[in-house]
Amino acid sequence: MARNSLSSRFRRLDIDQFDENRFVEEPDGADTGTGAGASEIDGGPGPEVEAALRQYPLPASDMLRAFHMALRNLPVNTKNPAAKELAQEVVMKVLTSFKGSEIEQAVNSLDRNGIDLLMKYIYKGFEKPTENSSAILLQWHEKALAVGGLGSIVRVLTARKTV
């Protein structure tokens, strides 16, 4: 018998860590800073965006600024449903405030991660439609699909972190 077969060192290796089907929950701060906790959303972009939207109709540059503020520091990593609901309401107000001709400019101003985040909120808006929001969300979806491609849809549908 060979000398190596009597050794028990091989049993110290955890082979389960190499299993592709094993799910491991990522810790809450593992993302690259695209989300905020519940405490950050209370003082985050919500009040600023609400104040900007009260002055409707806004010029296109102010709507674009409100759009970027709404998509910044969202509670992607939190498990607090109240914070996620508040963020969804703010984003939906901003999306429904845009004119159809301004949507393409807003979508083109986002990077890949921003388009994926926008798609998450578009699909979330489809889950809980309000009056006339589905037609507006379809316009947003059309423009986001044109810029992000099918890969954006796949990334959103397979993402573990929800909005």
**Confidence band of 42 (pLDDT split at 50, 70, 90):** very low
Query: What pLDDT is recorded for position 120?
Result: 95
Tell me the pLDDT tens digit for each residue of 91-130: 999 999 999 999 999 999 999 999 999 999 999 999 999 8
Q: Which long-range contacts (CB under 8 A, 24 or more apart) does 141-145 make?
A: 143/103, 143/104, 143/107, 144/107, 144/115, 144/118, 144/119
**Confidence band of 74 (pLDDT split at 50, 70, 90):** confident
Between 121 and 77, residue with greater pLDDT: 121
Query: What pLDDT is recorded for position 35?
Result: 45
**Confidence band of 29 (pLDDT split at 50, 70, 90):** very low
Query: What pLDDT is recorded for position 158?
Result: 94
Question: Does the pLDDT value for residue 33 go beyond 80?
Answer: no
Query: What pLDDT is recorded for position 78?
Result: 84
Q: How far is CA 95 from CA 25, 99, 107, in A?
A: 32, 9, 11
- Average pLDDT on 7-17 reads 68
